[in-house]
Amino acid sequence: MNPIILVTGATGNTGLPLVEQLANTGQPFRAMVHSAKNEGLAKKGKAATVAADFGDIPSLERALEGIDRAYLVSPASPDMANYQKNFVDAAKKTGLKHIVKLAGLGTALDSPVGLLRRHADIEEYIKKSGIAYTFLRAHFFMENLLGSAATVKNEGAIYSPLGEARVSPISVQDIAAVALKALTEDGHAGKTYTLTGPESVTYGRIAEIFGGVIGRKVTYIPVSYEMALDGMIKSGMPEWFAEDLVRLLKNWSDGKGNILSTDVEKITGRKPISLKEFFFKHKSLFIGTAEKAA
């Protein structure tokens, strides 16, 4: 049986868990990676791997040959809209029937956030292509909170400029689970799903949950947007991306991140992973050597 599903970004934040979940179904599929050296990372179960580049339409056409359904995601980039439109053009030429595209919460053509405008532009392009679609608009990834491991472990603190604003983080495992259903079941064409975790929380509450899991106090320390931007850039993040993330955080501070959706449970039949469950799974990252030994 030839693979009829393609996963782009197969070694990425959501692509890799989707590859793993697809592998567990036992059905063949194709995993697209940027470079041949990454093919081993995406080769799970009955996956066939293919190297292709979003800037190279012939390589995309080869990756899409014989494919009916595809998961579309690409790295954040100023060229993201053009790259994903290349994929749509290749998909039309090869006869793809259904695109499941990952976007972000708040995707809109008039968003103040550049990445969200690009996602909206791509969604419109897909609609006009005539290819069936499912759009997944996901909130803040829980996995991003793993970046606080060092400050939790060494300082007993987490930092954010969000103040009392509420967000509803979602695990990439749940995003992948919804994508899996959209790729393997009928009834999702033409749908846009809002994907959030099961609770809307402030960063103060996130600190409390951290503390409850690791058994010691964790404090939330507010910082300015300027400090947050400076920290992102110093960590090596491209300046354009850091500036866009600050615009996104400001959007959430205006209340636009305080959204709860039941779409994950409706589609997968189970509640999304909670922050407490997530932190317990990754507890070892947030405790010191002595605590591990104990």
Whether residue 242 lies inside any domain: the answer is: no
pTM of structure? 0.93
Sign of CA pseudo-dihedral 262, 264, 270, 275: negative
Tell me if 28 is assigned to some domain.
Answer: yes
What is the residue type of 175? I
**Nearest CA among 196, 173, 189 for reference residue 257:** 196
Is residue 19 assigned to a domain? yes
* Gap between the Cα atoms of 18 and 227, Å rounded: 35
Domain that holds residue 35: 5-138
Provide the number of structural domains found in the chain: 1
Q: Does a structural domain hold residue 237?
A: no
Residue 85 in any domain: the answer is yes
- The pLDDT of residue 184: 95
CATH number at residue 81: 3.40.50.720
For 231-247, give one letter per residue: b (16+ CB within 10 A) or e.
ebeeeeeeeebbebbbe
Other CB atoms within 10 Å distance of the CB of residue 158? 20
Count of other CB atoms within 10 angstroms of residue 43:
16
The mean pLDDT of 40-49, rounded to a whole number, is 68
Mean pLDDT calculated for residue range 138-151: 95
117 occurs within a structural domain: yes
Please, are residues 229 and 242 in contact by the beta-carbon 8 Å criterion?
yes
User: Is 151 part of a structural domain of the chain?
Assistant: no
pLDDT digits (tens, 9 = 90+) for 207-259: 999 999 999 999 999 999 999 999 999 999 999 999 999 999 999 999 999 99
Residue 243 lies in a domain: no
